[in-house]
Amino acid sequence: MSSFGHIFKVTTAGESHGKSVSVIIENCPPNLPLVEEDIQPQLNRRRPGQSSITTPRDEKDRVTIHSGTENGRTLGTPILLTVPNEDQRPKDYGDKTIDLFPRPSHADWTYLEKYGIKASSGGGRSSARETIARVAAGTVAEKWLRQTYGVEIVAFVSSVGNINLFDSPADALSSDPSFLALEPTLTRDRVDEFLPVRCPHPDIARKMEDRIAELRDAHDSTGGTVTCIIRNAPSGLGEPCFDKLEATLAHAIMSIPAVKGFEIGSGFAGAAMKGSVHNDPFFVPETLSAEETSRLTGGLPKSKLQTRTNHSGGIQGGISNGMPIVFRVAFKPPATISQDQTTAKYDGTGEGVLAAKGRHDPCVVPRAVPIVEAMAALTVADAVMLQHSRQMGRSMQQ
């Protein structure tokens, strides 16, 4: 499906080499200040052509708000956002061999199997170009969350290939001293000090950049991981049993092109921990101000309890507990590499060799950072609205 969310709902449209990419946002609260300039910075962080280690496709990704606002404020009605494709080159896919052979690890074969037809240029709806719509909509969701609840979402590159930001990548982030020191103060501005890779460590970021450039020159590619932190999410978010908050986050994140793994809190490393270590003890903070303890934001209270550790990743029983929500995302190497690769004909009559063409990233994680942030924002915004509806029903019964 091309829609995501129950109440804060987004529906996207557009292909890689079509005229534009667009998104409709439903049920955005009214009277939210919103102009194109609020959305553009995140699109600029995602856009292609921003450095020598990304695709050279030169798109400005300028967003236009067509509906749902007036005089710079939302009306509560559907918001239509569009971004034109200005540097599309369908002729890059004019080689007849592409009509004969599916590209290895692309969606050419699977789309043809599903629909009986596929986009003749690029990946169509499977292309990461589609994520423009997610970032545009996610920026709107995030602005509402930030203004209403003080929610902060920041993601960063934590690995490229086998180059890791953290000393023990196989261990749980929730017990890694370097991550625990970084997590409380990391901001997007800090992350973007380390362009073009967006890894918040100068020496490691330089190694990552050099590795990506090396593979670019070798016409190869590599994967990596992005880590995301959500601060100040209200407690009580998540809908047992099948829409637990980590389940909807996983759904959102796994829908991003090239994502192959998702872990939250201790993640897979938690399977090797003892319960006596993994359990997160509750405590009452000694320094909570009167304002903090009494704050009610839109009917959703800020949690008065905290945990001394955060192996749960901010979610227990599928419901947010007020601690930072922390998760990590694994991206595979981009499938398009300018090397000859063996493949088979669509009609099954034989095999052949195909050299993929087009302009593509040798590693997607530097540009994936705002995409991960956007999908996190859409998930949390929808969860907040679902909890609002629950709170409203409960208050009507009292």
Whether the per-residue pLDDT at 288 is higher than 60: the answer is no
CB-based contacts of 39, cutoff 8 Å, min separation 6? 63, 65, 81, 136, 139, 140
**Which residue is listed with tokens 């987004």?**
10
Report, as an integer, the average pLDDT of 54-82.
94
Segment 241-285, tens digit of pLDDT = 999 999 999 999 999 999 999 999 999 999 999 999 999 999 988
For the residues 345-363, what does the mean pLDDT come to?
86
Q: How confident is the model at residue 27 (pLDDT cuts 50, 70, 90)?
A: very high
Q: Domains (ranges, CATH) in the chain?
A: 3-397 (3.60.150.10)
How would you classify the pairing of strands 306-307 and 282-283? Answer: antiparallel
Can you tell me the distance from the alpha carbon of 250 to that of 379, in angstroms, rounded to the nearest whole number? Answer: 10
How many CB atoms are located within 10 Å of the residue 253 CB? 23
Burial of residue 42 (CB within 10 Å: 0-12, 13-18, 19+) is: buried
Read off the pLDDT of each residue in 21-47 and give the average, rounded to a whole number. Answer: 97
Beta carbons within 10 angstroms of residue 317's beta carbon: 12
Place of tokens 């991981």: 225
Arithmetic mean of pLDDT over the chain? 90
Q: What pTM was computed for the model? A: 0.92
Tell which residue, 387, 240, 246, has the closest CA to residue 328: 246
Tell me which residues are annotated as active site.
17, 106, 361
pLDDT of residue 298: 43
Residue 59 has a pLDDT of 82
Question: How much of the chain, in percent, has pLDDT values that exceed 70?
Answer: 90
367/373 Cα distance (integer angstroms): 11
**pLDDT of 182:** 93
